[in-house]
């Protein structure tokens, strides 16, 4: 199979770097287009990124040779798309919300699908916010989105915030088995890589934690409701439950967000053993389709008293699995547990790539 | 005023070291007796502790010269007490629960009051578990305890676990203003010093957190009920509320336990402003009595969005204050906030010393 | 004694904040003037610093009320000086070298002595680079500097880089006893606070070290030669020795620079015991004058095998002492040891204040 | 090829765990025998290790099923060897030096070759201390060792300390090109995993470094001389140079030892470019033989100013390469650089496995 040529918007930022690193040797996609700010445009990527590449893994030599384009130059991208050299773009743009919306719209209008990591379009009502294992059916709003916007080929799909990924798949696994979750209180302990680079100053997290991350609690409380929502009349209507209260903290961990979760079920309450059984056996569309980036097992259940831990569990199954542990009764609600996922892979670039794989498998890309 | 001569049981352990360091230049108490395991007994303290003193602050030269006694040798302690050289002991014993109970009983029976940091006697029903600002009235069970046990001079008083100190005073301040707290969900992020020395292996917390501390959640959920209880018929009857669910985590922080807290009030609900006002103006018996170890202000309220933080707030007011911040509505319960206190000072040796000061001021010691 | 009114240039930066915090309740000096960039000018300090104060200790309320001035507005400062409201300034400017030189010159020309923490003027040949315990006699170039520049009251004095303070006093103590040091190889392990705020990104030092700090090795190798130099013909002539090779590393430590040092003496070689004796008994002009910021004991010698350590030794004697340990023979040179000092206190603001105290005691200020 | 059955002595300790994890799916060797203390003996490995396995990677299911043997039961091992079920053992014993020597001798005498990670036999004069890329020819002492001891099949080979691996291959690459190294001063910044588990208490390295590791400096200074030595008269005679002075420090890094190195050459001095050229083109016997554990490139040269760094460079080439950087002139000696290697892989179990592969390829095993 010929690989699809893909572009990265925001290719010099940290999320862009993560996309580029994770797409090394991807079986379906090949980075053929790198766009960034005008300041970087015109230089070979290896020159534009010199001294600013912050990952352990390096970029493919072929990416190093790409001439960086101005992300604002839609015409350039459209020309490449027309020539068959650009099938879609991953948006890792870091700028004002309004500018991102305008740019992502412009790419889509120019016929280039946008798989976005940015938060700008998460609340656009006809834009699906996808976790491939949780709400793949939301992809089916894309034809309506295209029609509504008058876009022939382009569209926009986004992914949610990294802070919710440690508990979203586990609670979805229960919900789809008809266990209603009414209320939940969540405490996240989030890795510094979530803030990009330079991101969190070392003076803030050496021998310290910061019990605050701007905007994170609101996202953690609201985004699940859209993800669990239903398509009605061409838009996504939020689910009414669960009601979520999130406490978000920054901790001195490089990668891996950990969440402690207390759950209150509706009238029908699963036993601890049922929950584990549901989690262990949970498989979803990405697993059925054997998508390249999909974790073989989406939810890993650990029985040791002291797991999951970011250093030990973040990298399991290509850093795409969610690891849960410490499932036990909650003194106040029904049950409680600890969830963990890798924030820059599962929670960002890896999740975006998996979404693109899903959309390709569903026929929306390429 | 002549200082009271005090003893330290477990003088070579970490808690014992903390007591000794905090009692340097104490205006009321002077360490005159150091007891440890038979292995250390007979040596000068400075020799017994050589290579095992792990605090930044050092011990007083006079303590270094003390001959370490066998903590199991009650007769030796009784002789010193009789001679007027030992008014009471701080118990920082680290051994099996049964042995600690037997030893603490033996000291008390020998006429030596025991102010204990150990958890062994926390659930002994006639032993007060004191936070000096919260339940000083529980000290009044001491005469009944002595009578019941047939002890003339000795008695036992304990302090609760360090994990609850970051939220216990704040919730008490509200409760004593008649705001019932029905339920609360708490997530603690606890410093490694809470596990003593050598304690937590560095491999477990470098670039990592451990979402589990053995026994800590149970203590965090149960101890508040005794502290909020009432003396009835010579024993302390637990309070019925609040119902608490605790998630306890170890984080890579040297000192300072942080807790995120969601509170559900009873029918009567204070506004955020009322809560702040109650916290800011809260003063208790230790402040009224101006006890040496008492923080001038027991509850510090911060308005910045990102406080409290262990590195910045743990040491305030002799490391004896509780700092709270981020008071805001809770999406699920009524309000939520972040509390922080120094675990080895407020939560351990400092809290024990304050308890002793309270008991002395109340006439139970010296 | 009426306190001298002093100004802080760069009052909103990290070094400026350190000056302000350390001058809380200083017996001789009082912050009466705070200058920063035009952006902050005109606001009360408490407003200008809101959200940017990064120290644990807070600023004095009186400083919070000061109206921040534009550091480029020399006339404003001169007017205050004329009115007796500004005796001298501490320069904590962070800008281009040329701009700093121009500004510091302008203040001095306007009759306002400048005690600078900036590196800009360190190599100006008539400007003394002072460590108060090492080369206080270099202050005596000030009259020549003033004459040469045609300045009546103003002058400039600077302090050296923080990286050399852990070994500079110890080697000076030996040199002044006529033990020539010919060559030395130094490895520093430097705290992140040395890079200011936001400074070192947490992703760079979590579970990591960075074996490079831009410009630091050159400063560490050259500055000692000026400090050990002699005043000749109105300028300071560098010493010829020791020849220094420095390896400078950033480590995940908040405060406290540690250096491992191998020394080669000239023909006359002290024994280990002599060296310890020299260090232990070393006292210099700041101690003789009992300057407020002077450490009682400038060099602390530890005998434990595993000291000094930043967490345990950085704060000793107001964080102004140098702690040395592990003195032992060197396999390649003559002896080796480990030195440690607090980089933002001894190595920056505290050292600057001590220099000002020295200059005041010598009659150059106030 | 049928895999050789191998044993692990000390299979429940940290080094033993590392061997087991690294031997997962090894193409030549298969763990068939696990020996530990009598306390673990008789249990299946998965039971003996329960709660004590501290690595991220897990053990092979087949290892979990092995019945743990008493490491002191030589007869049991000899029986397995006789039955063709045990070809040789990796010794990861952690006990007194004398006991290890006695045990390793006993295994060898029983006909079982011992590839040891322990330091006990490093200075036994007829035991080769191998770094496979540096002194593979020292393996040739094995026939003489066997003859001398009267061992028919068994022998002992050891590997050196982890602290020297970051600079040993780089200096050897220069020495074998006839650049004599006369003197060197080394400063190591060593990861906590070097101390095993529980190893370094977190209180010792959170926001701290410890400038001391017991015995490490002596090993770092002496072991290179044996490795560079020559076989004469059936024993290994130490090389006379280089003279080494080592400063060994513990830093808060999980894995990866970093060393800063200053080198003094003999009369013939290479240019910086020559050195880089030598390092880049360096290949040795393990590369020529394409041994499974051998790094494709033994010495990686980085040109960035701030590399190598443990978090970014430790895992390169199966964590078996040495990464060097910052090569530049030394102010005191001739050149200086920074070297880095993974301490538990290259410096311990991985190095041991590579030694076994080398010995097998040379015909000494299997």
Which residues make Cβ contacts (< 8 Å) with residue B166, sequence separation at least 6?
B188, B257, B258, B259, B322, B339, B340, B341
Question: Are D311 and A207 an interchain contact pair (Cβ–Cβ within 8 Å)?
Answer: no
Q: Which of B14, A62, D336 is nearest to C247 (CA)?
A: D336
**D29, D6 contact by CB (below 8 A):** yes
Task: Measure the CA angle with vertex D330, ends C338 and D337; round to 5°.
Answer: 80
Instruction: Tell me the C-alpha distance between B167 and B346, whole Å.
Output: 12
For residues C32 and C1, which has the higher predicted lDDT (pLDDT)? C32
**A256, A188 contact by CB (below 8 A):** no
Chain A partners within 8 Å of C253 (Cβ): 206
pLDDT tens for each residue of B158-217 = 999 999 999 999 999 999 999 999 999 999 999 999 999 999 999 999 999 999 999 999
Q: Which of D99, D101, D122, D90 is nearest to D18 (CA)?
A: D90
Report ipTM (2 d.p.): 0.96
Q: Which of B15, B19, B43 is nearest to B30 (CA)?
A: B19
- Residue D35's DSSP bridge partners are D9, D69
Chain A contact present for B182, CB below 8 A: no
Q: Which of A188, A164, A298, A320 is nearest to A253 (CA)?
A: A188
Q: Above 90 in pLDDT, residue D82?
A: yes
A208, A255, A335: best mutation site toward chain B, by most B Cβ within 10 Å? A208
Low-confidence ranges of chain A (pLDDT < 50): none
The arithmetic mean of pLDDT across residues C211-224, rounded, is 97
Residue whose structure tokens are 């060994």: D248
Chain B contact present for D51, CB below 8 A: no
pLDDT tens for each residue of D266-302 = 999 999 999 999 999 999 999 999 999 999 999 999 9
Q: How confident is the model at residue D366 (pLDDT cuts 50, 70, 90)?
A: confident
Q: Does the annotation mark B162 as catalytic?
A: yes
| Per-residue confidence (pLDDT) for residue B366, from 0 to 100 | 81
Q: What is the mean pLDDT of chain D?
A: 97
B15, B53, B193, B206: best mutation site toward chain D, by most D Cβ within 10 Å? B206
Q: What is the mean pLDDT of chain C?
A: 97
CA distance B55 to chain C (A): 8
| Per-residue confidence (pLDDT) for residue A366, from 0 to 100 | 81
Instruction: Tell me the C-alpha distance between D258 and D323, whole Å.
Output: 9
pTM of structure: 0.97
Neighbouring subunits of D (3+ Cβ pairs under 8 A)? A, B, C
| Per-residue confidence (pLDDT) for residue A334, from 0 to 100 | 98
Closest chain D residue to the Cα of A55, Cα to Cα: D312
Question: Are D207 and C254 an interchain contact pair (Cβ–Cβ within 8 Å)?
Answer: yes
- CA-CA-CA-CA torsion for A271, A273, A277, A279, nearest 10 degrees? 70
Chain A contact present for D312, CB below 8 A: yes
> Residues A147, A149, A150, A155: is their CA dihedral positive or negative?
negative
Instruction: Tell me the C-alpha distance between D162 and D159, whole Å.
Output: 9
Q: Which is the catalytic residue, given B26, B162, B248, B342? A: B162
Q: Above 80 in pLDDT, residue C1?
A: no
Instruction: Tell me the C-alpha distance between A276 and B84, whole Å.
Output: 62
| Per-residue confidence (pLDDT) for residue D95, from 0 to 100 | 92
* A2, two tokens: 């010929």
Question: How would you label C168-207 residue by residue, b for 16+ Cβ within 10 Å and e otherwise?
Answer: bbbbbbbbeeebebbbbbbbbbbbbbbbbbbbbbbbbbbb
Instruction: Tell me the C-alpha distance between C202 and C343, whole Å.
Output: 19
Instruction: Tell me the C-alpha distance between C241 and C244, whole Å.
Output: 8
Chain C partners within 8 Å of D246 (Cβ): 331
**D261, D281 contact by CB (below 8 A):** no
Closest chain C residue to the Cα of D256, Cα to Cα: C208
**B296, B187 contact by CB (below 8 A):** no
**C187, C209 contact by CB (below 8 A):** no
Question: Are B206 and D199 an interchain contact pair (Cβ–Cβ within 8 Å)?
Answer: no
- CA-CA-CA-CA torsion for A300, A306, A309, A311, nearest 10 degrees? -120
**A41, A70 contact by CB (below 8 A):** yes
**A358, A132 contact by CB (below 8 A):** yes
pLDDT tens for each residue of B71-81 = 999 999 999 99
Task: Measure the CA angle with vertex D160, ends D159 and D166; round to 5°.
Answer: 120
Chain D partners within 8 Å of B203 (Cβ): 54, 192-193, 197-200, 254
Burial label, B150 (beta-carbon count in 10 A; 0-12, 13-18, 19+):
exposed
Instruction: Tell me the C-alpha distance between C251 and B202, whole Å.
Output: 16
List the domains of chain A with CATH numbers.
4-161+349-361 (3.40.50.720), 163-342 (3.30.360.10)
Instruction: Tell me the C-alpha distance between B316 and B297, whole Å.
Output: 10
Active-site annotation of C, residues: 162, 257
Closest chain B residue to the Cα of D191, Cα to Cα: B203
Residue D130: how many CA atoms within 13 Å on its side-chain side?
A: 32
Chain C contact present for A197, CB below 8 A: yes
Q: At what angle do helices C97-109 and C74-82 cross, to 10 degrees?
A: 30
| Per-residue confidence (pLDDT) for residue C89, from 0 to 100 | 98
| Per-residue confidence (pLDDT) for residue C7, from 0 to 100 | 98
Rg of chain D in Å (alpha carbons): 20
pLDDT tens for each residue of B98-131 = 999 999 999 999 999 999 999 999 999 999 999 9
Chain B partners within 8 Å of C51 (Cβ): 304
Nearest to C207 among B51, B56, B206 (CB): B206
């Amino acid at each position: 199979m010929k690989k699809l040529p893909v572009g990265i918007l925001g290719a010099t930022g940290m999320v862009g770097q993560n996309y580029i690193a994770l797409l090394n040797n991807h079986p379906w996609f090949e980075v053929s287009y790198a766009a960034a700010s005008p300041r970087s445009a015109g230089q070979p990527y290896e020159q534009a990124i010199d001294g600013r590449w912050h990952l352990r893994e390096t970029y493919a030599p072929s990416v190093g040779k790409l001439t960086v384009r101005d992300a604002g130059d839609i015409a350039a991208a459209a020309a490449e798309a027309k020539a068959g050299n650009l099938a879609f773009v991953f948006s890792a743009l870091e700028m004002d919300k309004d500018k991102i919306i305008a740019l992502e719209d412009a790419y889509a209008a120019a016929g280039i699908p946008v798989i976005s990591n940015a938060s700008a379009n998460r609340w656009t009502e006809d834009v699906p916010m996808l976790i491939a294992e949780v709400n793949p059916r939301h992809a089916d709003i894309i034809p309506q989105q295209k029609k509504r916007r008058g876009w022939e080929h382009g569209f926009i799909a986004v992914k949610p915030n990294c802070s919710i990924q440690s508990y979203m798949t586990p609670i979805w696994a229960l919900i789809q088995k008809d266990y209603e979750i009414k209320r939940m209180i969540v405490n996240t302990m989030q890795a510094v890589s979530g803030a990009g680079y330079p991101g969190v100053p070392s003076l803030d997290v050496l021998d310290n934690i910061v019990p605050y991350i701007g905007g994170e609690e609101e996202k953690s409380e609201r985004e699940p409701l859209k993800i669990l929502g239903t398509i009605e009349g061409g838009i996504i209507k939020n689910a009414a439950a669960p009601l979520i209260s999130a406490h978000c903290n920054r901790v001195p961990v490089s990668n891996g967000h950990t969440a402690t979760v207390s759950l209150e079920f509706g009238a029908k309450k699963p036993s601890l053993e049922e929950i584990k059984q549901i989690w262990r056996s949970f498989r979803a569309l990405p697993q059925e389709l054997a998508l390249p980036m999909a974790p073989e097992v989406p939810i890993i259940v650990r029985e040791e008293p002291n797991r999951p831990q970011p250093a030990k569990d973040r990298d399991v199954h290509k850093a795409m699995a969610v690891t849960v542990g410490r499932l036990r009764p909650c003194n106040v609600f029904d049950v409680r547990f600890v969830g963990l996922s890798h924030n820059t892979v599962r929670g960002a670039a890896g999740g975006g790539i998996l979404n693109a794989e899903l959309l390709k498998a569903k026929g929306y890309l390429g």
